[in-house]
Amino acid sequence: MKHEIIIDLLGSDMGPQEMLEGARLVLEEFPDVCVALAGPRALIEGAGLPEGRYRVLEADKTVTNLDNPIEAFYSKEPVSVFKALEEAGKCDDVIGVISAGNTGALFAGAIRFLLADKTVRPCIAAILPNSQGGFTCLVDTGASIDCGPAQLVDFAHRGSDLMRKLYKLESPRVGLLSNGAEPTKGNKLVKETHALLKVEEGINFVGNIEGNKTLSGLCDVLVCEGFAGNQVLKNSEGMAVNLITEIIKYGKTHQQPAAKEIAGYLMSRFDFASLGAGIMLGTKKLVMKNRGSCSRVAVRNAAQILKNIADNKTIYESIH
């Protein structure tokens, strides 16, 4: 079955060339995938990509972190991220969009062109490795900073649906991020959400999860508002990087060759840079939000996730 993936070439911190090289990797490794590339025509057509496997969505503008995403949306400039999302909404063969650009712009464009029926607001989930050898769905990771309890309950349903589909979990365990395991802990939002999740049908709520247990495997879905979720994501990555760096330093200082092997294992297990694309939930087509500094390999891996989801396979199957 042929799949088409739309890739927004602009907005990445690494520049459009790195995103273009990511698209090249996608075409080389997945013969059943075609790409639509949103960006400058001259750059795309001069890249030597295989004929018949790509098409151009011409756009020369992007939304920077200094721009207002709403103003950019209503401007008459051809903005690549909006071109990509609009095209995804029109074409049945498109399985998803990949972008490393401005999250606010991606969010605004998704609401305009891809909002699913009866959806309150999209959210971004991240699938992270946990200490029990499985994965935990963290939702939201930065799309919705100010949320109400009803939104967090909605996030719990979407995260559960994702883990049910991808990992065949009959009843995914849902935890609520809090500063204590007791039901009385947390701010007003957490306490009110806790009370709703306890009685919500279709949710297997296992209670509050403290920050030091986020990747312990105590839950399959961890729910929080976007500010807290973004901090969990970045702190987890920072701790993993620091730990791996210290192991490498120790191995060199104390001439312990086994340290290199341990560091290599941890790098492959907790490689957030390659596997850290967020999945936007609540849209008619999947949208993958890569970090601004993502590499071409991360673009390739985001495409693999889209392909796996379209083929109903495990989300990280065959990712390297």
> Given phi > 0 = left and psi -120 to 50 = alpha, else beta, which region is 258?
alpha
Digit-by-digit pLDDT tens for the chain (320 residues) are: 579 999 999 989 999 999 999 999 999 999 999 999 999 999 999 999 999 999 999 999 999 888 888 888 888 789 999 999 999 999 988 999 999 999 899 999 999 999 876 666 889 999 888 888 888 999 999 888 888 999 999 999 999 999 998 888 999 999 999 999 999 999 999 999 999 999 999 999 999 999 999 989 999 999 999 999 999 988 887 887 888 888 888 888 888 888 888 878 777 676 665 555 789 998 999 999 998 888 899 999 999 989 888 887 655 443 33
Q: Where are the domains of the chain?
A: 1-115+283-320, 123-273
> Do the Cβ atoms of 169 and 254 come closer than 8 Å?
no
Contact 49, 3 (CB under 8 A): no
How many CA within 13 A on the CB side of residue 42? 1
Residue in 106, 88, 93 with CA at minimum distance from that of residue 37:
88
Q: What is the DSSP letter of 115?
A: B
The superfamily CATH assigns to domain 1-115+283-320 is: Isopropylmalate Dehydrogenase (3.40.718.10)
123-273 is classed CATH 3.40.718.10: yes
Specify the amino acid at residue 158.
R
- Answer yes or no: same fold for 1-115+283-320 and 123-273: yes
Residue among 146, 149, 171, 147 at smallest CA distance from 159? 171
